[in-house]
A and B are shown apart, each in its own frame.
Chain A
Amino acid sequence: GAVVSQHPSRVICKSGTSVKIECRSLDFQATTMFWYRQFPKQSLMLMATSNEGSKATYEQGVEKDKFLINHASLTLSTLTVTSAHPEDSSFYICSARNAASQQETQYFGPGTRLLVL
C-alpha cells in the first residue's frame, strides 16, 4: 500500500513557540492531504484540507492563523502550530490521497505527538 510519513514523531515545546510538522507521501503523488487532530480516546477530527498549489480549506472552528498549512509540492504538506499553548497538546495525523489513481482511499501517516509545556 501507499506510504505516508510524518516528522517528527513526537515533539515537546514551550508555550508560545511554534512547531512545524511535515507530512510526506513517499511513493505516490498527492494533490490533497488532510490534517487531523486526535485527543486521547477520541475519534479523529478533521482540521483542514491541504491542496497543492492553493490555499488550505479549514474546518469550522479551526483557526487558520494558528494552524498554518503549506502544500508546496505533490509529496509534502506542512502544518505549523503557531504560538502553541498547552491546550494544543494532541496527536496530529495527516493523510493523503493518490491523485493519479483517483481512488477514494486516504492513507494515513503515523502521527505526531505534540506536548506543549
Chain B
Amino acid sequence: QQQVKQSPQSLIVQKGGISIINCAYENTAFDYFPWYQQFPGKGPALLIAIRPDVSEKKEGRFTISFNKSAKQFSLHIMDSQPGDSATYFCAASYDTGRRALTFGSGTRLQVQP
C-alpha cells in the first residue's frame, strides 16, 4: 500500500515560472515531511523539510505548504531555473526509533530556458 502519493509524474515549466509538486499521505502518524532533489546518477539531496505544527516553511526559492487536515503537502519552486531540472521526491516518516522514510513516486521537473 503506497502511503505517500505524489503528483504530477512530470512537469515542464518555463524559466522564471513557479513549479508546484503535490503529495498526499495516509498515515496520520507521520510527523516529518522532507523533500529531496535528485539529479541523474546522484543520490538524493535534502531540499527542505517541515513538521505538522507549521503550515508553511520557506527557504530561499523553495516553500513547503502543509495542510494537516487534508493530509497534503506541496513544494513550490519560485523563479524556476534550468538548473532546477531534476527529479523531486517527497517523503514522510514517524518516530519508530529508526525513522525510516516513505518516499513518493517522484516528479521529473524540466525547466525550459
Contact = CB atoms under 8 A, between A and B. Distances in A.
Contacts of A106: 34, 46, 99, 101
Interface string B41-58: 111111001000000000
Contacts of B32: 104
Interface in B93-109: 93, 95, 98-106, 108
A43 B46 contact: no
B46 A111 contact: no
Interface in A21-52: 32, 34, 41-44, 46, 49, 51
Given A93-B44, A105-B46, A113-B41, A44 B103 contact: yes
B98 A51 contact: yes
A105 B49 contact: yes
Given A32-B98, A51-B98, A43 B42 contact: no
Interface in B18-48: 32, 34, 36, 41-46
Q: Rank and list the top 8 A-B pairs by shortest CB-CB distance, nearest first.
A: A108-B43, A104-B32, A111-B43, A110-B43, A108-B44, A43-B103, A49-B98, A43-B105
21 contacts: A32-B98, A41-B108, A43-B103, A43-B104, A44-B44, A44-B89, A44-B101, A44-B103, A49-B98, A49-B100, A93-B44, A97-B99, A104-B32, A104-B34, A106-B46, A106-B101, A107-B46, A108-B36, A108-B44, A109-B43, A111-B43
